[in-house]
Amino acid sequence: MTHGKEVTVRFHPDSLRATSATLLEWGGLTAEDAAVAADVLVAADLRGVASHGVSNMLRVYVGWLRGGHVNPRPQTRLVSETPSGANIDSDRGLGVSEVPRAMRLAIEKAGSTGVGVVTVGNGRHLGMGAYHAMMALPHDMIGVCLSATGPVMVPTFGREPRIGTNPIAFAAPSGKHFPVVADFALTTVAGNKITTAQRFGLEIAAGLVADAEGRPMMHPFTPEARPDITVPTGIGLLPLGSSPEMGSHKGYSLGVIVEVLTGILSGTGFGARAGRAIMNHMVAAVDIAAFVDPVRFKSLMDDFIAALQATPPAAGAERVLVPGQLEWEAEQDRLRHGIPLHPEVVTWFELACREAGMPCTLEVVSS
């Protein structure tokens, strides 16, 4: 085993989960909440979604918990409840541990009425949305998770951000195949990709950002080569669709829909006013058996997945993917071979555990 930068060492998910939980407890979460939050983080790493895994987000969550932005022991409150709906005030609780609770309630409601929808207001970051949506799968249910963030998306024809990245996650079970899982922001890319490009002077691809006057940048450019173009740092993201001609009003509309179903339906507010800090959520579960025999549903899903996979690939493309396929393939690999961590992350774990005064160990699978 080498800790050098050339080799990325892979670690046992269990040891990552345990160590992450230890640090989240140090941040103030209960043991139970810390275990759930750690599971969400490691699930992201297993699925290859490193942006939402331990490397990027654990230190952020620990910082938020210790710094007071997130309330480690929220007094959550059921604002409203009906047989199929509920609205929870999460009292600035960490979405990563609070939203699974909301999703369990949605699943329970779906089990008794066919559908459950739960809003989570006054919330904070929920990690990888797919985790919450996928909680529906073992119950033969379809899961949905929406989250509204602070404003980074420029509305079509607008000059300043008013809408969040507002990711949508969706999960539906299949029979013999992997589940269909989609999880994506409604901006063309995540803000941190643009901030990174700006920091290193890299080329910014076409259709990702607006300039300071709100014009969609529909050709690639480097900040250095085009000093006349200023892009607001990390917050001038274009809606999915990029330009009005290519349908950016559709991405903008989807962003608006997510604001309505999360912040506004929960009575909390909307991102443009609340600022970057507050994130509101909605989760939903749909019991398949309320509509059709789950055996029939899964068999149709298998046929659908096979039909999509059998699409002849475009010139230059290798294969047509089904939503969730790449992440499922990553998970098969990582369950077997461990989760790769950059040496910088390993060092952070060591330092954080020392600062916390906790004995924690990351177990190496292979190197």
Taking CB under 8 A as the criterion, which residues in 297-326 touch a copy of itself? 297, 300-301, 303-304, 307-308, 311-323
Task: Return the DSSP state at 173.
Answer: -
Could you say whether residue 179 binds a copy of itself (CB under 8 A)?
Answer: no
Q: Which of 204, 256, 360, 362 binds a copy of itself (CB under 8 A)?
A: 256
3-state secondary structure at position 321: coil
- Identify which of 280, 275, 287, 286 has the alpha carbon closest to the alpha carbon of residue 79: 280
Residue 187 backbone phi and psi in degrees, to 5: -85, 160
CB 166 within 8 A of CB 186: yes
Q: Which region among 13-21, 43-51, 148-156, 340-348 touches a copy of itself (by CB under 8 A)?
A: 148-156
Per-residue x/- track, 341-360, a copy of itself (CB under 8 A): --------------------
* Nearby residues of 80 by Cβ (< 8 Å), 6 or more positions away: 86, 87
Minimum CB distance to a copy of itself smaller for 27 or for 161: 161
Q: Which of 3, 66, 296, 354 binds a copy of itself (CB under 8 A)?
A: 296
12 neighbors 69 (Cβ within 8 angstroms):
no
Q: Is 270 in the site for a copy of itself (CB under 8 A)?
A: yes
Least Å distance between CB 342 and a copy of itself? 25
In angstroms, the CA 323 to CA 307 distance is 13
On whether the CB atoms of residues 18 and 55 are closer than 8 A, the answer is: no
Task: Name the segment binding a copy of itself (CB under 8 A); options: 11-19, 26-34, 234-242, 356-364.
Answer: 234-242
**DSSP single-letter state for residue 363:** P
In the complex, least distance from residue 194 CB atom to a copy of itself, rounded to whole angstroms: 14
Q: Does 102 bind a copy of itself (CB under 8 A)?
A: no
Q: Is 123 in the site for a copy of itself (CB under 8 A)?
A: no
Radius of gyration (C-alpha) of the chain in whole angstroms: 21
Rounded distance, CA 201 to CA 119, Å? 40
Helix axes 343-356, 59-67, angle to 10 degrees: 30
Of 349, 359, 361, 363, which is closest to residue 62 (Cα–Cα)? 349
CB of 251 to a copy of itself, least distance (A): 7
Q: How many residues bind a copy of itself (CB under 8 A)?
A: 98
Question: Can residue 265 be called a binding residue for a copy of itself (CB under 8 A)?
Answer: yes
Which lies closer to a copy of itself via its Cβ, residue 23 or residue 106? 106
| Residue 210 is a binding residue for a copy of itself (CB under 8 A) | yes
Residue 290 near a copy of itself by CB under 8 A: yes
